[in-house]
Chains A and B, each alone.
Chain A
Amino acid sequence: DAKTTQPTSMDCAEGRAANLPCNHSTISGNEYVYWYRQIHSQGPQYIIHGLKNNETNEMASLIITEDRKSSTLILPHATLRDTAVYYCIVRVGGAAGNKLTFGGGTRVLVKP
C-alpha cells in the first residue's frame, strides 16, 4: 500500500472548519483514500473514503486532487468532541483481505 504523510499535529478553533491535509504521492490507480479518527482510548472510527471524486457525508468532506497525490479532510464545524488523532490511509479496494496500514496520523486539538 502507498504511504501517506500527514502533519504531526494541528490546532483549530471550535466552530470553525478544520482542514486536514494528507499527501499520498505514490498512490496507485486501484487504491482508495480512507480517513479514520481515534479518540483517546477508543477504537478508530471510520469517517469517509473516496477513490477520485470528492465525497461528503454527515461527518466530513473529502477533497481529492485531480492527480490523486493529495487529499484534504474537512470537518465543517469543529467541536470539542472532534479532538482526536486523524489517520489518512490508502488501501486497495475490492477485497476483504486488504488491510489498513496506519501511519502516525495528525493529532487535532479543537480549542474553545
Chain B
Amino acid sequence: GAVVSQHPSRVICKSGTSVKIECRSLDFQATTMFWYRQFPKQSLMLMATSNEGSKATYEQGVEKDKFLINHASLTLSTLTVTSAHPEDSSFYICSAGPSSYEQYFGPGTRLTVT
C-alpha cells in the first residue's frame, strides 16, 4: 500500500510551548489529509480534515486556533499544537490516500506535555 510518514515519532515539550507535527505522503499526492487524536485505551477521534490550498475543516469541539493545520503542498500537511498543556498529551495520527477509496495512516506521533 501507499506510504504515509509522520515526524517526529515522539516529542516532549514544556507546557505553554508550541509543537509542529508533519505528515507526508511519500509516493502519492493527496489533496486531502486527515488528523486524528487517540487517548490511551480509546479509539481514534477525527480532529480535522486538511485540504490542500484551502482552510481545514474541524470537527465539532476541536479548537481551530489551538490546533493549526497547514496543507501547503500535495504531499505535506502540518499540525501545530499551540500553547500546549498536559491535557493535549496524546497520540496524533494522520491519514491520506492516493484515491477516494483508499486511506493509509501514518505511524503516529506521541506528544507528551510536561
Contact = CB atoms under 8 A, between A and B. Distances in A.
A43 B45 contact: no
B29 to A, nearest CB: 11
Interface in A85-112: 87, 93-105
A36 to B, nearest CB: 8
Contacts of A46: 1, 102-105
A100 to B, nearest CB: 6
A34 B36 CA distance: 17
Interface string B90-114: 0101010101111111111010000
A21 interface: no
Query: How extensive is the interface on chain A, given as a class?
Result: 20 to 34
A45 interface: yes
Given A43-B93, A44-B44, A49-B101, A99 B108 contact: no
Nearest to A87: B43
B101 A93 contact: yes
A45 B101 CA distance: 15
Contacts of A98: 100
A100 B110 contact: no
Contacts of B77: none
B3 to A, nearest CB: 11
Interface string A25-37: 0000000101010
B67 interface: no
Contacts of A45: 105
A31 to B, nearest CB: 12
Interface of B: 1, 4, 6, 30-32, 34, 36, 43-46, 49, 51, 91, 93, 95, 97, 99-108, 110
Which 9 pairs from chain A and chain B are nearest by CB?
A43-B105, A96-B32, A102-B44, A102-B43, A44-B105, A96-B100, A43-B108, A43-B107, A43-B93
